Amino acid sequence: MGARKIIIDTDPGQDDAVALLLALASPQELDLLGITCVAGNVPLDLTAKNARIVCEAAGKTDVPVYAGKKAPLNRPLVTAEHVHGQTGLDGPELWEPQMPLAAGNGVDFIIDTLRHETPGTVTLCTLGPLTNIAAAFNTAPDIIDRVQEIVMMGGAYFEVGNITPAAEFNIYVDPEAAEIIFRSGAPITVMPLDVTHKVLATKPRVAAIRALGSKAGHFTAEMLDFFERFDVEKYGSEGGPLHDPCVIAWLLKPELFSGRHVNVEIETQSDLTLGMTVADWWGVTDRQPNALFIGDADAEGFFKLLTERLARL
Ligand code: BDR
Ligand code: CA
């Protein structure tokens, strides 16, 4: 079987960056057609810059990086510098990327790619707010049936929220976009906080990545040194959760994860619970399942995979 074609839609973000590195290190399994950037953790100019810095850190500059939407569909942007730092990628010493942005808009790239590739052969990996994907689906509804799968980091059930008491950041930033995706009928796999909070970059795990001695290893370790501080202070956990890399790890080794097919609806009306992912984990409604909602992961296996792949860069 050939490598699976993917587009990564992202708002780097240290954990997005690790997800990009994991994908860039895995060309045998993943054919990364392009990276589309969205506003989220930091504004679009920074996410589009950070994605190119990550490609350069990996020594993989032939992947096109597009800028997409600079604001949610119909709300002002909410950012997360308190988690990721002012650059979005605080930790390592950053540089001005040499790699240019690809010409054109990321939303058009998503539409054109899905129309051009064989139906059912392109997977969308979403690591940030779902604005770009929802905009593409709104503009070109014909592409929805052509998506192989959407694998997203977003939402929570047992862990409830991180940006508000009820909502996870990626869904909260653009709940209307998330609603469009969950109602689209496209196959969806979700990596919610329930699983990502189990995949912690503990000190020994980060030390193993640093010990690789490579540029990508150092870059990753320095990002994770910075990234852990927020969750360690907030949750008393042993390291930063590698939210977004779970999406890529799922494509590489799905046996590391387990979950349930459930119905997921998005709260878009309530001030109190805006962006909540109402997941019918216990099957108490007759609403049709629309997503595979992951709940557990083999964290040791995950870090073994990540470290082994980063060693290839
Ligand atoms: C998600 O929000 C961002 O801060 C992270 O990059 C991740 O995608 C976690 O809630
Ligand atoms: Ca992200």
Record the pTM: 0.98
Distance CA 139, CA 13 (A): 27
Structure tokens, 135? 């905009």
Q: How far is the CA of 39 from the centre of ligand 2 (A)?
A: 10
Is the pLDDT reported for residue 48 higher than 90?
A: yes
d(CA 221, CA 215): 10
Pairing, β 30-37 against β 4-10:
parallel
* CB-CB contact of 114 with 141 (8 Å): no
How confident is the model at residue 228, as a pLDDT?
Answer: 77
**Ligand 1 site, residue 162, Cβ cutoff 6 A:** yes
Nearest bound ligand to the CA of residue 9: 2
Residue 234: per-residue pLDDT: 76
- pLDDT tens-place string over residues 63-113: 999 999 999 999 999 999 999 999 999 999 999 999 999 999 999 999 999
Taking a C-beta distance cutoff of 8 angstroms, is the pair 190, 171 a contact? Answer: no
276 lines ligand 1 (CB under 6 A): no
Residues 34/178/185/23 CA torsion (nearest 10 deg): 30
Please identify which residue in the block is written with the tokens 């942007």.
77
Q: Which ligand is nearest to the CA of 231?
A: 1
Torsion of the alpha carbons at 38, 14, 220 and 301, rounded to the nearest 10: -100
212-268 residue pLDDT tens: 999 999 999 999 999 877 777 777 878 899 999 999 999 999 999 999 999 999 999
The DSSP call for residue 93 is P
Can you tell me the mean pLDDT for 283-308?
Answer: 98
Instruction: Give 310 Cα–ligand 1 centroid separation in angstroms.
Output: 21
171: pLDDT strictly greater than 90: yes
Beta bridge partners of 296: 258
Mean pLDDT rounded to a whole number for the chain: 97
Q: Which atom of ligand 1 is nearest to the CA of 168?
A: 10
**Would you say 66 and 102 are in contact if contact means Cβ atoms under 8 Å apart?**
yes
* Nearest ligand by distance to the CA of 173: 1
Distance 286 CA to ligand 2 centre (A): 32
Boundaries of domain holding 36: 4-310
Which of 153, 160, 191, 234 for a ligand 1 pocket mutation test, highest count of atoms within 8 Å of Cβ?
A: 153
Q: Would you say the CB of residue 172 lies under 6 angstroms from ligand 1? A: no
Q: Kindly state if the Cβ of 15 falls inside 6 Å of ligand 1.
A: yes
Ligand 1 lined by 13 (C-beta under 6 Å): yes
Query: Is the Cβ atom of 10 under 6 angstroms away from ligand 1?
Result: no
Q: What are phi and psi of 31, to 5 degrees?
A: -100, 95
Mean pLDDT of 193-201: 97
Closest among 4, 16, 6 to 245, alpha carbons compared: 16
Minimum-distance ligand 1 atom for the alpha carbon of 14? 6
Cis peptide bond N-terminal to 13, omega within 30: yes
Which residues are known catalytic residues?
243
Number of domains present in the structure of the chain:
1
How far is ligand 2, taken at its centre, from the CA of residue 13, in Å?
6
pLDDT value of position 237: 78
State the distance from the centre of ligand 2 to the C-alpha of 141, rounded, in angstroms: 25
- How much is the pLDDT for 232? 76
Distances (CA, A) of 199 to 54, 139, 170, 178, 189: 21, 36, 18, 24, 17
Specify the CATH number for the domain of residue 304. Answer: 3.90.245.10
Q: Which residues contact 262 (CB under 8 A, 6 or more apart)?
A: 279, 280, 281, 283, 289, 291, 293
Return the pLDDT at 1. 72
